[in-house]
Structure 1
Amino acid sequence: MVNPLRRQPAPVGPDPARLVPHPLDAARVREYLTGQGYSVAVDEDGDLTGTWDGDRFWFMLLGEKKEILQVRGRWQRTLPPGRRAAALLAVNDWNRERIWPKVYLRDEEDGTALYAEVSVDLEHGVSDAQLAQLVACGLGTGVQFFSALGGLVPEDPAG
C-alpha cells in the first residue's frame, strides 16, 4: 500500500536555464545541430546547411533583425516538365491535409524543384527547448514530405 504521507521525490524536468528565451542567432542553431551529431556547413550566402537522407536543408535567419528562423529543404530530385502535374497534386494534397511544412514547387533551369519550409518569428527570443523543437519540426516534417514524394511522384520511366 502507498503511504500518502511519505515524501516523494520531485519529478525531474528540463533544466530551467533551457526554458529562458534568448535572442535567436546562427551560433545557437549551429550548436543545437552539432550537439545532435549533425554535420553542417556555412554556404556562400552565410546560411547553415546540411544534408538529411540525401535532401539539402538550410537554416536561415530572415527579417530585418534576423528574428525569423526558417528551415528550408529541397528534394534531391529535379522533375522534368512531364512530372510537374503529378508533383503539383502531391503538393496541394500535402498543404491541404497538414500544417507543416509549407511545401511548394519552383521552376528552375533544369526542371521543377520541390521545397519544404517551416518559418517562425522569434522576435521576442527563443528558449533552447523551443529552438530544439522548432528545428526538429522543420527537419522532421521536411524529411517526411520528401520521403512521401517518392511514392507520390514516381520516377519518370522515360528519364
Structure 2
Amino acid sequence: MSIDPSSIPNFGGQPEPHETGPTGPVIPDQDLVKQLLEQMELKYVVDDEGDLAAPWEQFRTYFMFRGEDEQQVFSVRTFYDRPHGIEEKSKLLEQIDDWNRRTLWPKVYTHTHDDGTVRLIGEAQMLIGVGVSLEHFVSSTVSWVRASIEFDKWLVEQLGLEADIDSDGDDKPDDEA
C-alpha cells in the first residue's frame, strides 16, 4: 500500500506526482507511518519497545499501535519535555482545560513524577481494527502532528516561556534545525 503524496496536507515540501493507492479500507501499520513521516520530511527513530518517535527539541511524538484484531487502536502521543514545578500544576490545569475545551486534539493531561515535576502529555487516537480510509488516516495523522506542535507554541505563549523557543520559531524535528 502506498500513500498518495498529493493527499498529504502541505506540511513541508511540495507534493509529488499523483500515485494510485488502495480504494477500500486499509489497516495502517508501522511501515505506512514510516512512509508518511518520510514524505512529511520528518526524522524518526524506533525506540526499545518498537514504537516510532519523531523528536523535536522540547517534545517527542510517538506513533503507537495497541490492541488486537477489531480493537486495534492507533495512537499519536506527544510527551512534552519541559518540566514544571508542582506549585505550577493548578495554573497548568487551567491552561490545558482551556485548550481541551477549544480544540479537538491533542487532548492534553498532566503527569506528576515522583520528584514533583509535572510534565504534559497530548494524545489522539483512532480505532483502526476494521480498517480506515487511507486518506482519513493520512489527514488525521498529519493534523495530529501539526496540532501537537501548535499546542507547544500556544502553551509557551500562555505561560510566557518565549525564551525556551528558538528565535526562528523552529517547528522541525531537532535534527533538522
The interval holding the TM-score normalised by the smaller chain is: 0.7 to 0.9
The answer to whether the 8 A contact 2:58-2:82 is kept is: no
Per the alignment, residue 68 of structure 2 pairs with 64
Moved more, 49-58 or 97-106: 49-58
Q: 1:15 Cα deviation (Å)?
A: 5.3
Count the aligned residue pairs: 142
Q: Percent identity?
A: 25
The answer to whether the 8 A contact 1:19-1:129 is kept is: no
- Select the residue among 142, 147, 150 that pairs with 1:141: 147
TM-score normalised over the length of structure 2:
0.72
Consecutive unaligned residues of structure 1, counting only runs of 5 or more, are 1-13
Consecutive unaligned residues of structure 2, counting only runs of 5 or more, are 1-17, 162-177
CA–CA separation in structure 1 for the residues paired with 2:23 and 2:139: 12
Q: 1:92 Cα deviation (Å)?
A: 0.8
Per the alignment, residue 23 of structure 1 pairs with 27
1:121-145 CA deviation, whole Å, 9 max, x = no partner? 0122133322211211211111111
After superposition, the CA RMSD in angstroms is: 1.9
Q: How does 1:7-156 map to 2 (within 5 A)?
A: 17-52=21-56, 54-65=58-69, 67-110=72-115, 111-155=117-161
CA–CA separation in structure 1 for the residues paired with 2:51 and 2:149: 19
Q: 1:77 Cα deviation (Å)?
A: 0.4
CA–CA separation in structure 2 for the residues paired with 1:135 and 1:56: 15
CA–CA separation in structure 2 for the residues paired with 1:23 and 1:88: 36
CA–CA separation in structure 1 for the residues paired with 2:24 and 2:47: 30
Instruction: State the secondary structure of the residue aligned to 2:160.
Output: coil
CA–CA separation in structure 2 for the residues paired with 1:41 and 1:59: 11
Letter aligned with residue 100 of structure 2: N
Moved over 6 A (4+): none
Letter aligned with residue 22 of structure 1: V
With over 3 angstroms needed to count, the CA separation of the structure-2 counterparts of 1:21 and 1:15, relative to structure 1, is farther
Instruction: State the secondary structure of the residue aligned to 1:82.
Output: helix
With over 3 angstroms needed to count, the CA separation of the structure-2 counterparts of 1:83 and 1:154, relative to structure 1, is farther
Per the alignment, residue 4 of structure 2 pairs with none
TM-score normalised over the length of structure 1:
0.80
1:52-99 CA deviation, whole Å, 9 max, x = no partner? 353210000012237211111112301011211111101111111222
With over 3 angstroms needed to count, the CA separation of the structure-2 counterparts of 1:136 and 1:150, relative to structure 1, is same
The answer to whether the 8 A contact 1:86-1:152 is kept is: no
Rg larger in structure: 1
1:101-153 CA deviation, whole Å, 9 max, x = no partner? 11101112340011111101012213332221121121111111111111222
